[in-house]
């Protein structure tokens, strides 16, 4: 989100516009209050990453009443008719490319662990893409529910690996999950398990660049391109120009073989 904010902000500066930023820190009530403050400030447009897809509806209604266009980012608001455009990542493909790689590496199947967070839309899409790619591939699946704060991942993973040490691969719904998984595998001296993730953070790309790390691949999304697309969309809306109401920015696979192309010191 920080990189997304910076990307939108840099494009806004090029347009000689001023950007106000509010961080609700996941609190839907606070986000609605902040949006009302932005309305009172007289902003011309709002870029919105909903803290909660349904709870943000009252704020969207207020924005609509004030005739302020909304560019919805990352997580689709439930009241999509109150937004002008949605800009998101192709999360389904981010999971699919990981599944495709795993099937290519293990055509005979095996045993894998999926670290998921049910109820998180972007992560659900990534896991759906992964599962459809490996469906029929002969994989036995164990699941770990990361919960809201991910604090239970390490304990659950250790328990699974002690009970079923033959695991071949682990798919993580996002990079924060993968970081915890990699830490557990290091403590357990398990460098024989293929680890996948979706995201593409500098930390995960650094792990890919480390040949001794079990990190195998990541379905990478691009917050930089998402931000640029969002800013261009806002400019078109405000200028009565043409724009796409729904854009899914391309996701792609980064592995040990091509991580040098993308670098490890920032997002792509």
Q: Per-residue pLDDT tens for 109-129?
A: 999 999 999 988 899 999 999
Rounded to whole angstroms, what are the CA distances from 155 to 5, 173, 176? 34, 17, 15
Residue written as tokens 């500066």? 13
153-163 and 175-187 helices, crossing angle to 10°: 50
17, pLDDT greater than 90: no
**CA-based nearest residue to 234, from 81, 87, 113:** 87
The reported pTM is 0.90
Q: Provide the pairing of β-strand 194-199 with 169-172.
A: parallel
The CB density around residue 192, as the number of other CB atoms within 10 Å, is 11
d(CA 201, CA 224): 12
215 within 8 A of 190, measured Cβ to Cβ = no
Angle at CA 259, nearest 5°, toward 255 and 262?
135
Q: What is the pLDDT of residues 83-113, one digit of tens each?
A: 999 999 999 999 999 999 999 999 999 999 9
């Amino acid at each position: 989100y920080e990189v997304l904010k910076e990307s939108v902000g840099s494009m806004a500066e090029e347009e000689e516009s001023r950007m106000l930023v509010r961080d609700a820190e996941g609190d839907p009530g606070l986000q609605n209050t902040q949006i009302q403050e932005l309305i009172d400030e007289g902003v011309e447009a709002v870029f919105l990453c909903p803290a909660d897809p349904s709870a943000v509806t009252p704020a969207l209604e207020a924005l609509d009443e004030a005739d302020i266009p909304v560019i919805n980012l990352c997580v689709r608001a439930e009241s999509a008719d109150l937004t002008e455009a949605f800009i998101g990542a192709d999360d389904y493909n981010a999971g699919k490319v990981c599944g495709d790689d795993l099937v290519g590496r293990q055509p005979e199947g095996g045993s894998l662990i999926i670290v998921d967070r049910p109820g998180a839309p972007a992560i659900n899409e990534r896991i759906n893409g992964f599962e459809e790619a490996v469906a029929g591939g002969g994989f036995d699946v164990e699941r770990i529910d990361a919960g809201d704060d991910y604090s239970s991942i390490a304990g659950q993973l250790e328990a699974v690996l002690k009970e079923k040490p033959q695991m071949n691969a682990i798919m993580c719904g996002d990079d924060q999950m993968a970081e915890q998984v990699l830490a557990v595998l290091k403590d357990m001296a398990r460098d024989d398990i293929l680890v996948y993730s979706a995201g593409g953070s500098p930390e995960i790309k650094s792990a890919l660049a480390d040949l001794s790390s079990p990190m195998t691949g990541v379905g990478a999304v691009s917050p930089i391109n998402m931000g640029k697309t969002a800013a261009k969309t806002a400019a078109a809306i405000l200028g009565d120009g043409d724009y796409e109401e729904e854009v899914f920015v391309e996701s792609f696979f980064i592995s040990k073989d091509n991580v040098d192309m993308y670098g490890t010191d920032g997002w792509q």
